[in-house]
Amino acid sequence: MGEPKRVSDELSIAGQVTPEQLQQAAAEGFKSVLNLRSPDEAGVLSDEQQQAEAAGLAYSNVPLSNSNLSNGQVSEALEALEGLPKPVLIHCGAGARAGAIALIAKATQENLSPEDLTEQAEQLGLEPDQPHLKQFIETHYPPKELLPERH
């Protein structure tokens, strides 16, 4: 997974975690894990919930599909995130879905401008055209030509 990347004080992101990394996350003060992978993805930790709970972490799993985009999935992930004790380690396979959800949560909480959001995505090594992020940007930020010009 590499080191978790901090998105905010409450949210960090990672790729697939191992039992050791769950233990380490708990030791570093994380309180919960949000797993965005579906159980049928390659390389998932089949007993991740048990491992997380054994490490003393709250656990939630909301499978997010990259190909089958729906706002419902994103809302469900954000709701799960809302309900988990912070700080939360959000992970998927390589970190892109996790990054998108963390940034969407942060953008919503902090009212980020599209520029700030894009800049933070770049800092995390996330493509702004990551499907969930792109969908969020298109849904929540009207295209520039629709905005009144600032003088």
Which pTM was predicted? 0.90
How far apart (Å, rounded) are the C-alpha atoms in residues 89 and 107? Answer: 17
- The pLDDT > 70 percentage for the chain reads 93
In this structure, the dihedral spanned by the alpha carbons of residues 105, 110, 116 and 118, taken in order and rounded to 10 degrees, is 10
- Find the helix packing angle between 114-123 and 131-140, rounded to 10°: 170
Over range 128-134, report the average pLDDT.
89
Q: Is the pLDDT of residue 29 over 90?
A: yes
pLDDT band, very low/low/confident/very high, at 148 (cuts 50, 70, 90): low
Q: Is pLDDT of 86 > 60?
A: yes
Please give the residue that has the higher pLDDT: either 128 or 41.
Answer: 41
- Which pLDDT band, with edges at 50, 70 and 90, does 151 fall under? low
Tokens representing 17 are 């975690």
Q: Which residues contact 4 (CB under 8 A, 6 or more apart)?
A: 12, 13, 14, 25, 89
Mean pLDDT, residues 137-149: 72
Residue written as tokens 């048990």? 50
